[in-house]
Amino acid sequence: MTRNNVVSARKPKQTVEAVPERASRVRQRQRLIDACISALHIHGPSRTTVEKVVAIAEMSPGIVRFYFDSKDAMLVASLAYLAAEFEERVLVPVAQLRDTPVEALELLVDLYLDAEIASPRKVSVWYSFWGEASSRQEYYDICGRKDEDFAALVRDLIERVIVTTGESHLDTDGIALGLIGALEVLWQGIAFQREADVDRAVARAQSMAFLRSVFPGQFGRGTLRRSAAPAPGATGARLPSSSYSNGALLAVERARLFRPAWQVIGHEAEMPAAGDFLAGDLASERALVVRDEKGRLRAYRNACRRRPHALVSVRKGHFVGAIPCAPHGLTYKFDGRLTNGEAAGDLTPLDVKQQDGLILVRAPGAMQADGAQGGDAQGGTDSSGWVGLAALAPTSMQETELAADWKLVVEQWLESSPSRGRFVAPNHWVEIRPEGASILRVLPEAPGRSRLQRLDFSAGAQKGRKRARQESGEEPDGRRRIDVWVAQQVELAESTQTGLVAAADEVLETGPVTPALAEFRRSIADLFPLVGKVPQNP
């Protein structure tokens, strides 16, 4: 029995400042759903109450009625959200590879075991709903019907492999059931572990061992499709198409590229007072930065020490005297020490620094690609990348979801003219203009999916910005040109991702490759030997 499968349309792209009222309602509803999932993880459906949900969401009980007719409606909406997420992030991309069933099954295993889908929090919620499905038709309709879709997809892929190999003596239903059962057992193990204890590399290896035992000629130990093009190296040839949708490679990228890298969370002007905080995603960690009573910045893992839910779900805000965890009655001082309640210990610290007005955070003691620790060399952020930003003031932050791999976005940046901006490894693009600047940061969400954050800055007061435009000869709609360029980048990345997935053969590249692009591709190709042996966090 697999619990995971439900349908929904892809989440629409949201720009934080576009259509403010509608965006605010979408965020509030999603905030309640996220809090409801956390409450379900802690208490189960029967003991989850509106009061417990709003305590986690830090919202008033009355606002729930604005979005949901009842507690039951909120629970069903939360289950439907998980189902839609599974449909979008697992079933759809796997189904797009039906014509290459071996790759489709490899991707299915990667996505099924991905931390965004198979987290202890979400897996336990699936099991909670399944436990009550016998008495709740809504739960059964969502879980049961989509389980059938998942099973049908697995059976179809297995049947296609059998047809391709000509091994007609094999039992399609039996093999499909065996794979589903193996994945189910792995999910059961995840449900009763802490995230830090989940070894996803081993889980993937066990699943692939099953497939390899049945189809030894098709499922070798390699995980990336071999490229017909020249190997990425001095020529900077395109990476194998499968590297833009490979879950095992993404795990290595997070560990070796993102974990040791400084990531921009925001600007110091956004948190001027004691108790002000900023939260953000580092791709390998969830970060929470708070200004303490002495004005110092402190960074922590944005996770409760009793259960790994986020302490805050908004980007910025203010704590009054301490950092609370309302669901568990915990209180942490700004120095991270637990002062009230019982938990595993104090908040986990992260590295934080200020540079040219920016706040940068990274995982502590992060291992770099060459095995060294610390510093800004391999895998770190180049300090010169932020030159010219010190005198600017933050104005806005926007965020867009992309149905494209993060590497495609970076490749497009590196194909741009150097005069347009500069790349700060592994995932920042900095563009400085006379009237201000923009920092783009692309973050991997899942294989073949990413999120683009854009921080905008101004050169000062409106009068100063107008004078700067006049002196530079830039039109008043200079900001709009940046908007158009970013929109074009999103559209191009998504279109390229679709082309790579749909291509029957490897895509050859005939255009010129810049030195920066060639270097980036070499840095990814260097990770290929590590795929299947994901390094553990120190």
Are 65 and 205 in the same domain? yes
Residue 15 is predicted with a pLDDT of: 42
Q: Residue 512 falls within a domain, yes or no?
A: yes
Same domain, residue pair 80 and 34: yes
Alpha carbons 357 and 343: distance in angstroms, whole number: 35
Confidence grade of residue 511 (pLDDT, cut at 50, 70, 90) = low
pLDDT confidence band for 477 (50 / 70 / 90): low
Between 233 and 63, where is the model more confident?
A: 63
Task: Say whether both 149 and 40 belong to one domain.
Answer: yes
Task: Examine the pLDDT at 80 and tell me if it is beyond 50.
Answer: yes
| DSSP assignment letter at 370 | T
d(CA 62, CA 53): 12
Domain assignment present for residue 240? The answer is: no
Who has greater pLDDT, 225 or 125?
125
* Chain centroid, CA 54 distance in Å: 25
> pLDDT-based confidence at 503, cuts 50/70/90?
low
Tell me the pTM: 0.57
Nearest-5° angle of CA 187, CA 31, CA 131?
Answer: 35
Do 216 and 263 fall within a single domain?
Answer: no
At what angle are helices 120-132 and 71-86 packed, to 10 degrees?
A: 120
Confidence tier at 6 by pLDDT (50, 70, 90): very low
pLDDT category at 365 given cuts 50, 70, 90 is low
Closest C-alpha to 90, from 6, 176, 185, 208: 6
Whether 469 is in a domain gets the answer yes
Q: Nearest CA to 500 among 398, 403, 383, 415?
A: 403
Instruction: Summarize the confidence of residues 463-480 as an average pLDDT.
Output: 51
Question: 116 vs 89, 303, 405, CA distance in Å?
Answer: 9, 15, 15
Residue 227 to residue 231: CA distance in whole angstroms: 7
Distance (Å, whole) CA 535 – CA 538: 9
Q: Is the pLDDT of residue 403 over 70?
A: yes
Distance CA(328)–CA(318), nearest Å, equals: 20
Q: Does residue 489 fall inside a structural domain?
A: yes
pLDDT at 379: 36
Q: Is residue 232 one of the residues assigned to a domain? A: no
Angle at 197 between CA 308 and CA 379, to 5 degrees: 85
Segment 154-174 shows an average pLDDT of 91
The more confident residue out of 184 and 510 is 184
Q: What percent of the chain has pLDDT over 70?
A: 80
Q: Which of 322, 349, 381 is the last residue in one of the domains?
A: 381
For residue 495, give the CATH number of its domain. Answer: 3.90.380.10
The per-residue pLDDT for range 200-252, each reduced to its tens digit, is 888 888 888 899 889 888 876 444 544 434 444 445 577 888 889 888 888 88
At 394 the pLDDT is 93
In the sheet that 449-458 helps form, which strands lie side by side, from edge to edge?
Answer: 393-402, 449-458, 436-446, 428-433, 422-424
Q: What is the pLDDT of residue 48?
A: 87
Cis peptide preceding 426, ω within 30 of 0: yes
- State the pLDDT at residue 408: 96
Most confidently modeled of 185-199, 254-268, 411-425? 254-268
Residue 498 lies in a domain: yes
- The residue-averaged pLDDT of 84-102 equals 87
Query: Which residue, of 334, 360, 381, is where some domain finishes?
Result: 381
Average model confidence (pLDDT) for the chain?
Answer: 80
End of a domain among 349, 381, 413?
A: 381
DSSP state of 455: E
pLDDT at 2 over 60: no
How far is it, in rounded angstroms, from Cα 342 to Cα 157? Answer: 48
DSSP code per residue over 125-144: HHHHHHHHTTT-HHHHHHHH
- Domain span at residue 159 reads 20-220
| Residues 368 and 505 both lie in one domain | no
Q: In this predicted structure, what is the pLDDT of residue 135?
A: 63
User: At residue 397, does pLDDT exceed 80?
Assistant: yes
Q: Name the token pair of 117.
A: 């889908």
CATH number at residue 41: 1.10.357.10
Please tell me which residue, 466 or 2, carries the higher pLDDT value. Answer: 466
The answer to whether residue 76 is domain-embedded is yes
Q: Tell me: do 355 and 406 sit in the same domain.
A: no
145 shares a domain with 57: yes
166 φψ region: left (φ > 0), alpha (ψ -120 to 50), beta (else): left
Contact call for residues 500 and 493 (beta carbons, < 8 A): no
**How many domains is the chain partitioned into structurally?**
3
pLDDT of residue 119: 85
194 shares its domain with 77:
yes
Q: Are residues 310 and 399 in the same domain?
A: no
Whether 177 is covered by a domain: the verdict is yes
Same domain, 459 and 534: yes
Q: Which amino acid is at 34?
A: D
The candidate with the shortest Cα–Cα distance to 176, out of 191, 187, 160, is: 160
- pLDDT tops 90 at residue 277: yes
Instruction: Supply the CATH number for residue 363's domain.
Output: 2.102.10.10
Q: Tell whether the model's pLDDT for residue 386 goes beyond 80.
A: yes
**Same domain for 170 and 209?**
yes
Looking at the structure, tell me whether residues 375 and 399 fall in a common domain. Answer: no
